Amino acid sequence: MKQLVLIIFGIVLIMACQPSEEPSVTEVEALVLDVYDYFEEEIPYSITRYQIENNHDKIAALGRILFYDNRLSQNNSISCANCHKQQNAFSDEKQFSIGLKNYETTRNTLSLTNNAYHVSHFWEGHSGRIEDHVLNPISNHIEMGMTNVNDLVVKLSEIDDYNSLFNEVFDEDISEDLLNQSLTTFIASLISYNSKFDKGKITGFTNFTANELAGKDLFFGKAKCSHCHNGDHFNARWRKTANIGLDHNYVDQGAGDGHFKVPSLRNIAITSPYMHDGRFAGLDEVVEHYVSGIKDHPELDWTLSNKIELSGSEKELLIDFLHTLTDYEMLSDPKFSNPFN
């Protein structure tokens, strides 16, 4: 009898030590609205669309809490920040991000830097603005799994702190529209404008090394990078997608015929791996693709129809310039950081 009791006790102990299939709701301290100046006067680009009745800073602060809260996922395990990490300019260092129940996403995670100024979103190049797409990852069955956003509204409404915060910020109860507006405003505030390049524009690039200056000349000249990556945000200002000759036969067709979004190059040095499938581990591989790896696809973008010729040293100079697009202030700014830390 004594042996039987010991066996039963052992089984109960083992079962008690097993991880539960569904993680419990994250234990967090009381939610506090830390309000910062999210849309500073120093920002050189217009962002008035998201400056709402002088309440935008509070809305962005609420959006920051939501962005980092893993209770927005179906099993309380994934937040937006799991795939969009501040230290990686709100991209992911993994080739494919890990979503709900350890599922992998099918594409590499794009950076959210200066997303408010992009003409297209996601790798397919969806048109519209942030608010048209911000809830998609939350409802995606691989990413966060809240397939019915109304269920998320109900879930958050059962958390007293969220009821208090939404009433403080909006003087209204939680709704899908207000969830959207909060997350959108925070993401719109992720603006990079303090890179070495930005500071160089003010001083005539006197802060650049000789190598960086030479790389800049290549970027805007012989290397033809600026044909697609141009303007303040180093993205495509007038086109949504392009075929850059990655494959003869694309397994993932993107928006069709191998067309994918032309991403911003801001903070590009820290957003590896690169391309929609994360196939290139470093900038050296990316540059080499444009020099010697372009496939002659029927839909190849016209800007790449003529061969780009760069020497080994010119490739290195070009990469030196790309590093000047890193905004280290943004990567460590507390107003974009995890409020639960």
Q: pLDDT tens for residues 98-145? A: 999 899 999 999 999 999 998 889 999 988 889 999 999 999 999 999
Q: pLDDT tens for residues 217-266? A: 999 999 999 999 999 999 988 788 999 999 999 999 999 999 999 999 99
- Within the chain, how many helices (H) and strands (E) appear? 12, 2
Q: What is the mean pLDDT of the chain?
A: 90
Sorted by where each begins, the domain ranges of the chain are 31-192, 196-328
Q: pLDDT tens for residues 269-299? A: 999 999 999 999 999 999 999 999 999 999 9
Does the domain at 31-192 match CATH 3.50.50.60? Answer given as no
| Residues 196, 207 contacting (CB under 8 angstroms) | yes
- Sign of the four-CA dihedral 206, 111, 82, 103: negative
Please state which architecture CATH assigns to domain 196-328.
Orthogonal Bundle (1.10)
| Residues 75, 101 contacting (CB under 8 angstroms) | yes
Torsion from C-alpha of 294, 296, 297, 299, nearest 10 degrees: 90
Q: pLDDT tens for residues 139-184? A: 999 999 999 999 999 999 999 999 999 999 999 999 999 999 999 9
Q: pLDDT tens for residues 45-57? A: 876 667 655 689 9
Euclidean distance between CA atoms 246 and 220, whole angstroms: 22
Same fold, 31-192 and 196-328: yes
What is the pLDDT confidence band of residue 4, given thresholds at 50, 70 and 90? very low
Residue by residue, DSSP assigns 290-340 as IIII----TT--GGGSSPP---HHHHHHHHHHHHTT--HHHHH-GGGS-TT
